[in-house]
Amino acid sequence: MPATKIWGQIRSALANLSPDEVRARVERPVLIGLVAASQEKLGGMETFFAPPELSPARRAEAARLLVRGGSPDCDLHIFESELLLPAQQIHRPAENFSFDADSPDDCVRRIVRRREDLMLPLARLLPPFRKAAAHHIIRAVAKENAVFSLMTAVPDVVPGLGLGWAVGEFGSDAAFLTMNQVRMGFLLAAASDRKIGYREQRGEIASIAAGAFGWRALARELVGKVPFGGGLIPKAAIAWAGTFVVGMSLERLYRLGYGFTRAERKLMYEDAYDQGRQIAKMLLAGIKKTPALSAARSVSAG
**In this predicted structure, what is the pLDDT of residue 136?**
96
The larger pLDDT score, comparing residue 203 to residue 221, is at 203
Q: What are the angstrom distances between the C-alpha of 220 and each of 15, 165, 212, 214, 232?
A: 26, 21, 12, 10, 11
Is residue 26 scored above 80 in pLDDT?
yes
- Residues 138, 243 contacting (CB under 8 angstroms): yes
State the first-to-last Cα distance of the chain, in angstroms, to the nearest integer: 35
pLDDT digits (tens, 9 = 90+) for 54-99: 999 999 999 999 999 999 999 999 999 887 755 444 454 457 899 9
What global pTM score does this model have?
Answer: 0.81
Q: Is the pLDDT of residue 220 over 90?
A: no
Task: State pLDDT tens for residues 249-295.
Answer: 999 999 999 888 888 888 888 888 889 989 888 887 776 665 544 44
Answer whether residue 121 shows pLDDT above 90. yes
Does the pLDDT of residue 161 top 50, yes or no? no
Domain boundaries, the chain: 3-24+128-291, 31-74+76-114
Which amino acid is residue 166, in one-letter code?
A
Measure the CA angle with vertex 264, ends 260 and 269; round to 5°.
Answer: 105
Residue 248, CA distances (Å) to 55, 137, 160 in order:
26, 10, 33
Average pLDDT over all residues of the chain: 80
Does residue 160 have a pLDDT over 90? no
pLDDT of 4-14, one tens digit each? 554 555 566 56
Amino acid 298: pLDDT = 44
- The pLDDT of residue 142 is 92
Contact 76, 97 (CB under 8 A): yes
- In sequence order, the 6+-apart residues with CB closer than 8 A to the CB of 41 are 80, 101
DSSP string, 100-127: -TTSHHHHHHHHHHH-HHHHHHHHHH-G
Alpha helices in 34-172 (DSSP H): 39-49, 56-63, 104-114, 116-125, 130-152, 167-170
Contact 188, 137 (CB under 8 A): yes
For residue 152, the model assigns a pLDDT of 72
Burial class (CB in 10 A: 0-12, 13-18, 19+), 153: buried
Comparing 40-49, 57-66, 129-138, 288-297, the range with the smallest average pLDDT is 288-297
**Consecutive H or E run containing 78:** strand 76-80
Tens-place pLDDT, residues 163-188: 444 444 444 677 788 888 999 999 99
Query: How much is the pLDDT for 182?
Result: 92
